[in-house]
Chain A
Amino acid sequence: MGRGRLVVLLSAASLALCACVQTRQIADVEFEPPQGDYSLIVMRPDVTVGLVTAGGLVEPRADWTEKARANLLKALAEQQAGRGGRTRILETRGGIPGVDEQEVADLERLHAAVGQSIALHKYLGAELPTKRRRGIDWTLGEEAVKFGRATGMDYALFLHAEDSFASTGRVALQVLGIAGCFVGFCAPQGGGGQSAYASLVDLRTGEVAWFNVLQTQSMMPGIGFGDIRTPDGAAQMVERLLGRMKAGRHVRARR
C-alpha cells in the first residue's frame, strides 16, 4: 500500500513537471522595446493548428488554422496599438507595391537562415564563444534596411506559431498512461501543446533586435495552456510571446 502511494506521489510530481509554459527571450544588448509612434510589418505569419492523433502524429487542420491565424493577427495588432505601434500584415510576397516579390522572398530566406543559426547557437546549446554574453548578435544587413526604406516601416516581425490538440484516441492513451501509474506502469503521454517564436528585426539598422521562443506542453488530459483558435487564447499567446519585452542588457545596466 505504502509503495503504491509513493508511486502515485512520484508520478503526480513528474506530471506536474511535464505540464508547463516556457518562454525565453534574448535581446540585442542595446535593444529598447518599441514604444510610442512606430510601425511594424508582420512578414507572412506562419500559423498551423493540428490534431494530435493516437499515434502521436500532428495532423494539420485547415479550419482551425485559419481561425487561429485571424485571431492571432487581430490580437497582435491590438497589442501593438496599445504601445502606440501601427501594424501591417504582409499576407503575400507581392503585397507591397513597389517592392519586388523576389526581394521579399530573399529577405524571408535570409531570415530563415539567420533564425536557424540563432536557434542553434542560442537555444539548442551549441554556444559560440564569440557570441557569449552579447545577446542577439545577428543582422540581416543592408537588405533589411533597403526593405525598411521601401516600405517605410520601422520593424519587421517574423512570427511562427503552432498549436495542437489531442484527439479522442490520444486522450484515451493519456488517461491509460496515467491510470497505469496505479499498477506501477507510468507512461504519461504528451497531448497537445504550443510552440511559437517571434523575431523582431529593426529595419533601420537591419539587426535582429529581439527573439523569443514559447513552448507549452501538457501530459495531463484535459489540461492545456490556451487555445489560439479562440480570441482569448490567441491574445494569451501574443501576450506570452510579445508581452513583456525586456530591454537589452546594456540598456538595463544604464538604468
Chain B
Amino acid sequence: MSAPLTRRSVLGTFGCACCLGAVGAAQARIPPRSMKPLIGPGHRPTAKDELGMWQQYERVEQEIAGSNLLLEDAGLASYLGGLAERVGGPAAKDLRVYIARIPEFNAFMAPTGFMVVFTGLLLRMRDEAQLSGVIAHEGGHFLRRHQIRMWRDMKRKTAALNFLAMGAGVGGAAGGFYAGELVQLAQFGTILSLLSYSRELESEADAIGLLQISEAGYDPAAMPETWQQLIEELDASAAVRRKRRRRNYSLLETHPAPETRMVDLRTSAREVTTARTTERGRDRYLRALGGHRRTLLDDQVKLNDPGAAHYIIRNLAKDGWNGLLRYYEGEVWRLKGGPGDSVMAGRNYAAAIAYPDAPPEAWRAHGYQLLKDGRREEGKAALARYLVLAPRAPDAAMVRHLAGQ
C-alpha cells in the first residue's frame, strides 16, 4: 500500500507548488531595460498553433474593420497609427489601430498586430505622451508575443492537470483511496498559475511599453500618471455612490492591481528618464482629437456616473478650464439632480459662456437657468445667443418660442 501514499504525496506537492508559485510571485517589478522584443519587423507565424491563431484573428479583424462601432475619422485613425509606428519598436510598420466608440477606459491588442482603442480611453488622456504609453503597452503585447505564449502556457498547464487528475482517479480506484480533493486543489492551483502568468505578461507589456515611449522621447512619467488617474477616478466614482472602490484579490485577477502597476511604473520611469525624454505633445493631441472631445464628453456624461465624470473633467482641466469643460461640468451637476445641484450647474454654465469656445448648448443651458431664476430678460438674451450660434438646432423652434421671438 505504499504506492497510493506516494501518489498522494506527489499530488499534494504538485497542488501546493502551484499555489505557492502563484502566491509567492507577488510579481516582482520587471526592469524596462531587461525587456527585449521577441519579434522582428514583418513578423509572420511559422508554428502550427500560431498559424491557426492568426487565421482566426484575420476574420476577427475583418469583423472589426467593418464594424459600425468604429469612429469614422480617417485623420484621427492615421494619427493613432502614427503614434503606434513611433512607439512600436521593430513592429512599427506592422501595427494597425482601430478606434471603437465605446465610452470605457480600455484598449486591446490582437496577436496579429491590430489593436482596438476605445474612445473612453481617448477622453481620459491629457496628452500624447499618456496616449502613447497605452499604445506602447498594447504594442508590447505584440512585441513580446503574449497571446501565443499565453496559449501555450494554458495548453501545457491544462494538459498537466488533466493527466494528473486522470492518474489520480485511476490510481486512486486501483489503490482504494479517494483523490478528489487533491485534484480539486491542483485545479485551483492551475487556475491561479494561469492567472499569475497573465499578470506577469501585463507587467512585461508595461515595462517594454515604458521603454518604447522613452526611446521615442516621451516623458515616461506619463505612464504611471495614467494609472494614478484611473485609481483616483474609481475612488471618485465610488465616493459619490457612497461606496468603496472594488478591490479584488489580486490572486484572482488577470491584470496586476492598478496600485501595483502605478508604483512599478513610477520606479521604472525613473530608470529610463533622461534629459531627452521630455515630450508631452499636448497641443498635437488636442489638434488630432479635434471636435471629438466634445462627443466623448457627451458619451461619458450620459453614463450616469457623476463621480467619474467630475473626476475626468477636472483632471483634463488641470491643463486649464475652457468653455467645453465648464459646460460639461455643469451638465454633470444638472443630470445628477440632487438638492443644490442645479445651482452648481448654473454656476458652471455661467462660467462656460465666458470662454470663446463655449458650445452653443452652454448658452441654451445658461438661458434656461436664468429663466428658472426669474431673470427673464437675461435668460431670453442667452437663448437668443444660442439661436444665433445654432440656428438649425433641432429644438430651435421651441427655444425661439421661449425666447419670445
Contact = CB atoms under 8 A, between A and B. Distances in A.
Interface of A: 46, 48, 50, 53-57, 59-63, 65, 92-93, 101-102, 105-106, 109, 169, 173, 176-177, 179-180, 183-185, 187, 189
Contacts of B162: 54-56, 173, 189
Contact of B173 (A50, A109, A185, A189): A185
A50 to B, nearest CB: 7
Interface in B152-202: 154-155, 157-163, 166-167, 169-170, 172-174
Nearest to B55: A62
B48 A93 contact: no
A101 B56 contact: no
A240 B51 CA distance: 30
A54 B159 contact: yes
A65 B159 contact: no
Given A65-B52, A179-B170, A187-B169, A53 B62 contact: no
28 contacts: A46-B59, A48-B56, A50-B52, A53-B155, A53-B158, A54-B155, A54-B158, A55-B159, A56-B162, A59-B49, A61-B48, A61-B51, A62-B55, A65-B52, A65-B55, A93-B62, A93-B66, A101-B66, A102-B66, A105-B67, A105-B68, A176-B166, A176-B170, A177-B166, A180-B170, A183-B173, A183-B174, A185-B174
Interface of B: 48-49, 51-56, 59, 62, 66-68, 151, 154-155, 157-163, 166-167, 169-170, 172-174
Nearest 3 A/B pairs, CB to CB: A55-B158, A185-B173, A54-B159
B51 A62 contact: yes
Given A176-B166, A180-B173, A185-B170, 18 more contacts: A53-B155, A53-B158, A54-B163, A55-B154, A55-B157, A55-B158, A59-B52, A60-B56, A62-B54, A93-B62, A106-B68, A176-B170, A177-B166, A179-B170, A184-B173, A185-B169, A185-B172, A187-B169
A53 B159 CA distance: 7
A26 to B, nearest CB: 27
Contacts of B169: 180, 185, 187
A101 B66 CA distance: 8
Contacts of A62: 48, 51-52, 54-55
B182 to A, nearest CB: 14
Nearest to B52: A60
Contacts of B158: 53-57
B52 A57 contact: no
Contact of B163 (A46, A105, A106, A173): A173
Nearest to B58: A62
Contacts of A60: 52-53, 55-56
A187 B166 contact: yes
A59 B173 contact: no
A127 B94 CA distance: 48
A71 B192 CA distance: 42
Contacts of B172: 185
B398 to A, nearest CB: 34
A60 B48 CA distance: 9
A93 B327 CA distance: 43
B174 to A, nearest CB: 4
B166 A173 contact: yes
A169 to B, nearest CB: 6
Nearest to B161: A55
A243 to B, nearest CB: 27
A60 B57 CA distance: 11
A62 to B, nearest CB: 4
A101 B155 CA distance: 38
Contacts of B59: 46
Interface core residue of A54, A169, A177 (most chain B CB under 10 Å): A54
Contacts of A59: 49, 52, 151, 155
A173 B159 CA distance: 10
Contacts of B66: 93, 101-102, 105
A112 to B, nearest CB: 10
Nearest to B50: A62
B166 A63 contact: no
B49 A57 contact: no
A202 B113 CA distance: 39
Nearest to B56: A60
A56 to B, nearest CB: 7
A246 to B, nearest CB: 32
Contacts of B151: 59
Contact of B170 (A56, A93, A183): A183
A93 B174 CA distance: 58
Contacts of A92: 62
Contacts of A61: 48, 51-52
Nearest to A48: B56
Nearest to B67: A105
A254 B159 CA distance: 56
Nearest to B48: A61
A96 to B, nearest CB: 14
A188 to B, nearest CB: 11
Nearest to A53: B155
A102 to B, nearest CB: 7
